[in-house]
Amino acid sequence: MDKFIKNRNFINLSFFIYVAIILKFAVFRDGFLSGGNFFRYNLAPFIEIVELFRNATPYQFGVIFFGNILLFSPFGVFLKYKRLNLTQILIFSFIFSLMIEICQLIFKVGIFEIDDLMLNTIGAILGAKIYQIIRVYNYGLEKIKKLYEQSL
């Protein structure tokens, strides 16, 4: 039981650090409270994604498109670890992403992007699905190992 508590504490601490890192890079970065002159936002879905396909270098595309997805994958893994269902994960990841985007708008760092909300939410769902696949795979391996040990 002591090992379980240590493991749970480690996972919770890791999640706290993960959220702090996301906030540092998405909100509390260069330009935070610098008194920018205007709010930047894009409320039209898929505009930024289409622009990325048309004009971005492969590196820029990878960083922006896949970066937003990968950035939120651990969020989905953690929520699935906490046994939330996919609907709850979708809602929580959307709300967390929305809070980040609103902070970017209020503090005038970055751009409030609808596309970021979509990509971040997709990333969390993808992370949850990956967690599910790994759990099923590990469960299957454990069953095979037990069957093998019983046959000896």
- Model confidence over 100-139: pLDDT tens digits? 999 988 888 888 999 999 999 999 999 999 999 999 988 8
pLDDT-derived band at 31 (thresholds 50, 70, 90) equals low
C-alpha distances out from residue 149 to 3, 138, 142, Å: 25, 16, 10
Beta strands in the chain, from DSSP E residues, in sequence order: 41-42, 112-113
Report the C-alpha gap between 55 and 107 in whole angstroms: 28
Over residues 133-146, the pLDDT tens digits come to 999 988 887 888 88
C-alpha distances out from residue 93 to 48, 52, 65, 123, 140, Å: 20, 23, 17, 9, 29
Mean pLDDT of the chain: 89
Per-residue pLDDT, averaged over 53-62, amounts to 91
Report the C-alpha gap between 103 and 107 in whole angstroms: 6
In this structure, the number of other CB atoms found within 10 A of the CB of residue 130 comes to 14
34 with 104: CB under 8 angstroms?
no
Nearest-CA neighbor of 115 among 103, 139, 97, 136?
97
> For residue 118, what are the contacts with CB-CB under 8 A and spacing of at least 6?
45
Could you tell me the pTM of the whole model? 0.85
Domain boundary assignment for the chain: 2-151
